[in-house]
Amino acid sequence: MKLYFKPGACSMAPHIALREAGYVFEQEKVDLARHQTASGEDFLRINPKGYVPALRLDDGSILTECTVMLQYIADHMPASGLAPAAGTMERYRLMEWLNFLATEVHKPFGPFFNPKAPQEIKDYNLRLLMRRLEFLATHINGRQFLMDDRFTVADIYLFTLLNWCNLHGIDLAQWPTLKDYMTRIAARPSVRETMKAEGLIN
């Protein structure tokens, strides 16, 4: 298996999940502006959508989309416990979280990474994100993880997204439950190893 990633981007979620689940895998950095991998491959031939993450499976095929990849990673290492079994109500709850994170938290961050995005769009999205973060802080209050005491791929995804708050001047200290949640997850060996491998921490 091989993960195509950009340091600190949403590809950090499958990266953490691969380590958390105990996979042996390869990884290759992508220069998204040039659509080129570190070894010089044309990334558009790997993922014509042009974005990370992309996961090359052992049969050579490519899987894209964070939420799907996270479930694939969890399902193929069931002992990791990173996702409840398919078909159970808990699994639908997990998918509910993953979909919420992808559409209501991940995407509104988009304009903040684009220097050409109009300020009105950034202001609008910031207000939206503040509401989502408020909701998440209330939900996590009194819980260890999104799904109570079960650590899942949804927590890995949320950690990856909340990590962007620092970059865009959103101070998580205003939600102590979110700040504590981030500290708890950042301390996991898989998270530290991933952030080291991506050059984000020493």
By CB under 6 A, the residues from 124 to 183 that bind ligand GSH are none
Q: Smallest distance, Å, CB 37 to ligand GSH?
A: 13
Q: Does 32 bind ligand GSH (CB under 6 A)?
A: yes
- How far does the chain reach from its first CA to its final CA, in angstroms? 26
> 63 Cβ partners below 8 Å, 6+ apart?
54, 55, 57, 69, 72
Return the number of the residue (12 or 178) whose C-beta is nearest ligand GSH.
12
Q: Are 175 and 137 in contact (CB under 8 A)?
A: yes
Distance separating alpha carbons of residues 116 and 24, to the nearest angstrom: 39
- Contact with ligand GSH (CB under 6 A) among 7, 23, 36, 65: 65
Q: Does 102 bind ligand GSH (CB under 6 A)?
A: yes
- Contact with ligand GSH (CB under 6 A) among 3, 10, 73, 94: 10
Q: Are 53 and 30 in contact (CB under 8 A)?
A: no
Q: Does 13 bind ligand GSH (CB under 6 A)?
A: no
Q: Smallest distance, Å, CB 13 to ligand GSH?
A: 9
- Continuous segment of H or E residues that includes residue 110: none
- Contact with ligand GSH (CB under 6 A) among 3, 4, 5, 9: 9
